[in-house]
Chains A and B, each alone.
Chain A
Amino acid sequence: MEPSRDDLHRGFTEAGYIASSELIMAISLMRRLARPLLIEGDAGVGKTEVAKTLAVALDRPLIRLQCYEGLDANAAVYEWNYQRQLLAIKIWETEQVSAAEKERHVFEEAFLLRRPLLEAISQDVPPVLLIDEVDRADEEFEAYLLEVLSDFQITIPELGTITAKSIPYVILTSNGTRELSDALRRRCLYHYVEYPSEDKEMRIVAARVPDMEPALAAQVVRFVQAIRREDLEKKPGIAETLDWARALVGHDIADLEAEPELVRDTLLCLLKTRADSAAVSREVVERILGKAV
């Protein structure tokens, strides 16, 4: 049963994610066209969150594969449980069983450790498979991934080919550490997440930090929007906005302009490099505050 776009919209809103209609369209197409969705965008704009929210909205398990340099098939697909296999061989040592029989025994599924990719294709109901920061993995892994994502089957020499019981919703995210191959890009639907507009960010803060005064939330969002226009190394994403909003709620502030000192002190929620915190001096804070409120 495919969820309609309206269902998805509702599900995302209920889970606290303000999704654009465009994103909802892309997600509904994933199912229809049986293609994975590649999400790109600056750090902290909520790429990973899309997959998490989708899992909540559909009430499906989320299986996550975090990519890193040197990720190999053993960590991503499957591995044999060697310790248990060794033990089993030892235990069977005294039994009158042929070596071939023993071999069959130790390569049964009970000795198989399922890693995320295998796990994702062996579910009865389609789960959400999040392949996070796929650009961090090596080209070789990317090529392998491409194969898995087009055939949805995995071959284990000792067991044979395992075909997917259900096709998972696959979401890939990329931060641009490395340019992805054209083949993988073509295989995927594409969505680019931009920094949210002021209005959208306001709704996000309202959804995620409900105990914040709307007037203060508006100030916070305008401040963050203004600081993104400054020349920074790492622009604050939505995650940073939310962190900052929560920090301010904790400090029980009503008006940003009245507390430039506290604003400056809590900026560590927004600015994550030394160069950036040096760039946003007191004067800059006051200038932005003047504009923001």
Chain B
Amino acid sequence: MSATLAPFPTDFPAAPISRRLVGYLRLARDNGFAVGVREGLDALRLARAVDLSRPHQLRWGLRALLCSRKADWARFDELFDAYWLRRGMKRAALIDGETGRHGASKDLGGAGGLAEAPAREGNDAAAAPGSGKSDGASTAETLSTTDFRHLNDPDQLAQVYALTERLAARMRARLTRRERQRRKGHRLDLRNTIHKSLGTGGVPMRLAFRARRAKPLRLVAILDVSGSMSLYSTFFLRFLRGVIDNFHDAEAFVFHTRLVHISPALRERDFERALERMSLISAGWSGGTRIGDSLATFNDNYAAQVLNSRSVVMIVSDGYDTGAPEKLAGELARLRRRAKRVIWLNPMIGWRDYEPVARGMTAALPHLDLFAPAHNLESLAALEPYLARL
């Protein structure tokens, strides 16, 4: 690749390289690279330091400067070629919304017709068989024992959404308090002991102790959004959003036929917009649920990053899997080796006479630390003491 730089635009006959560079930085920023004022200045400084007749040098320099993760590294060349070497211009100039971390919200927000999927999901929930159980009930207490699929009144829904998010917040608060109470020091803090001893002529009368820093739990939620779960997925998305907002360290994934990381989308301030982004992510899925394959994706691509010894993995699914049960069992076993706990929430347990007969579910059971219902708020709240004990 010995191509030279594309010529400067003719309407700026004396346009210095910096003008071209600024244009490039703007393009890079629009494409989700982290470009701030400092990066701009450094890029100019860099341009002065390299031999501009050899575009490779500029490429290497800018690549080191502008990239900040592997994904950036991989897509840098295309953007560079498009701008500086006028190659494949059309493709790269398209702003890639899904990978763009910084520009993403701006770019997606304006797009029309994207709210289709959340609307559909909402309708599903609203059109759910509204059996008499929740008729007229509007107090939080009744709501908390009502199966999610029996809720259909918009007011009730709004209340349950709020409760769900608050529940997630409370879980976090409880966990933190527990951690603090455990903070009784066991190791002598020599530094402070000596400080205190100065007043008594060097005799350590008052001892200072050091507390072991407790680390909060890290929650990783993996949510099934397949057709069979559609009555519940909106609620759990709300719940996950509450979790993401309140836990310092939480990650959320959804799967259907494949696994998608949705934490960035959930962090969107406006929940409607978050749903919008998610509908983009999940658009056009069809076919059966592939729990095993989705977990394999998780184990291969994300586990190393998001799991540590303090992680609790929460899988929310009804266990109806069209893949091989052995695959599911194998992946769960791998998962369990990495995480502190693997819990599986199944909304169907709440149904009367439910037995985990789904083949996938049977295969999964031996690899779970907890298999619990999650069909109403009460059952979600019951998780809290379990998590607090960990």
Identify the A interface with B (CB < 8 A).
21-22, 25-26, 28-29, 32-33, 35, 37-38, 40, 69-70, 79-80, 82, 85-86, 89-90, 92-93, 99, 102-103, 106, 138, 175-179, 182, 185-186, 188-192
Asked if B73 and A32 make an inter-chain contact with CB atoms under 8 angstroms apart, the answer reads: no
Interface status of B359 (Cβ within 8 A of chain A): no
Point out the residues of chain A lying under 8 angstroms from B101, CB to CB: 182
B45 and A33 within 8 A (CB): yes
Nearest CB of chain B from residue A94's CB, rounded to whole Å? 11
**Closest A residue by C-beta to B39:** A186
Within the complex, the shortest CB–CB distance from A190 to chain B, in Å, comes to 4
Interface residue ranges, B against A (CB under 8 Å): 34, 36, 39, 42, 45-46, 49-50, 56-57, 60-61, 63-65, 67-70, 72-73, 101, 190-191, 194, 197-199, 201-202, 213, 215, 304-306, 308
A89 to B198, alpha carbons, bound, how many Å? Answer: 9
15 example contacts (A-B, Cβ-Cβ < 8 A) are as follows A22-B60, A28-B49, A33-B42, A69-B308, A80-B191, A82-B190, A82-B194, A89-B197, A89-B201, A138-B215, A175-B304, A176-B305, A177-B304, A182-B101, A190-B67
- Asked if B202 and A90 sit within 8 Å, CB to CB, the answer is yes
Chain B nearest CB from A19 CB (Å) reads 12
Q: For B34, give the chain A residue with the smallest CB separation.
A: A186
Q: Which residue of B lies closest to A135 (CB)?
A: B305
With known contacts A21-B56, A33-B46, A191–B305 Cβ distance under 8 A: no
Are A22 and B64 closer than 8 Å at their CB atoms?
yes
Which chain B residue lies CB-closest to A192? Answer: B73
Chain A residues closer than 8 Å to B304, beta-carbon distance: 175-177
**For residue B202, which residues in chain A have a CB less than 8 angstroms away from its CB?**
86, 89-90, 92-93, 102
The answer on a CB contact under 8 Å between B57 and A25 is: yes
Known contacts A22-B63, A26-B64; A99/B201 CB under 8 A? yes
A residues near B190, Cβ cutoff 8 Å: 80, 82
**Distance of A43 Cα from B42 Cα, bound (Å):** 30
* List of A residues within 8 angstroms of B57 by Cβ: 25
A185 touches B65 (CB 8 A): no
Contact between A25 and B34, CB atoms less than 8 A apart: no
Known: A25-B60, A177-B305. A102 touches B198 (CB 8 A): yes
Shortest CB-to-CB span from A169 to chain B, Å, is 14
CB–CB A29/B199 < 8 A: no
Of B61, B68, B197, B215, the residue contacting A29 (CB under 8 A) is B61
- Residues on A with C-beta less than 8 A from B194 are 80, 82, 85-86, 89, 106
Which of chain A's residues have a CB closer than 8 A to the CB of B73?
A: 190, 192
